[in-house]
Amino acid sequence: MKKEDIYKKFVLGILFVFPLVVYLFFASGKNNFAKLPILTKGVHEIENLKFLVDQNPALKNHITIMGYWGGSLENKQAEALNLNEKIYKRFYEFADFQFVFFVNQDRLLEVDRLKKTLKEGAGTDLSKWNFIPASNEEIQRHFNSLQTPIELDNEGSTPYVFIIDKDLNLRGRNDDEDAGTLYGFDARSVAQINKKMIDDVKVILAEYRLALKIYNTNRKK
């Protein structure tokens, strides 16, 4: 083969591969090349609460999307649908992944209605959507353990949701281009979910999958 032909094939290869590499780099997100920072250690466990749902969920050894909806479930349908479509359906099949939301004890009928709404259409498997009925004091106490500048409203609610890792740490961003430190994600904002939250959930899932792979490899040695 002539040198000119080799050169042409080399150039064509570069022209084909380079755009693909660039695309994969940017599509994978900025945080996919580092661990998601720990912002708060020692988030309170939930298994000792007096009022629990049937599954008795726990934060330990789970990757949890944590939310506080208190007594304002009537206004949470849009947030629930955003999270269900963008986050839950994408990741719920991963082992140890779950949603946990605090609600007031007298809102269980509204929880049932919300579940029916989420099941409509695609028929979502809601087995990892956990709702914790609790008093306002219990909700506030648990929320305080996150140690964020975000506040609950007078109904014990916030539109922000949080990523809690398997060791009861709050994960987020300490170099966010908009907020500086990003403690949680606004579930009202599809744009923030798409641009940031999906990426960060991918990062923490990849972190634990890599740790498990390394552990299994070391056991075989």
Q: How many other C-beta atoms are found inside a 10 Å radius of the C-beta of residue 36?
A: 23
Alpha helices in the chain (DSSP H): 3-27, 77-83, 89-91, 108-119, 136-144, 190-192, 198-220
List pLDDT tens digits, range 48-95. Answer: 665 444 567 899 999 999 999 999 888 899 999 999 999 999 999 998
| Average pLDDT in the chain | 84
Segment 187-214 mean pLDDT: 91
Segment 110-124 mean pLDDT: 81
Is the pTM higher than 0.85? Answer: no
Residue type for position 108: L
The residue ranking higher by pLDDT, 198 or 11, is 198
Furthest-apart CA atoms within the chain: distance in Å: 80
List pLDDT tens digits, range 123-142. Answer: 678 889 999 999 999 999 99
- For residue 166, pLDDT over 60 is answered with yes
pLDDT band at residue 108 using 50, 70 and 90 as cut-offs: confident
The residue ranking higher by pLDDT, 14 or 40, is 40
Region of residue 51 (phi > 0: left; psi between -120 and 50: alpha; otherwise: beta):
beta
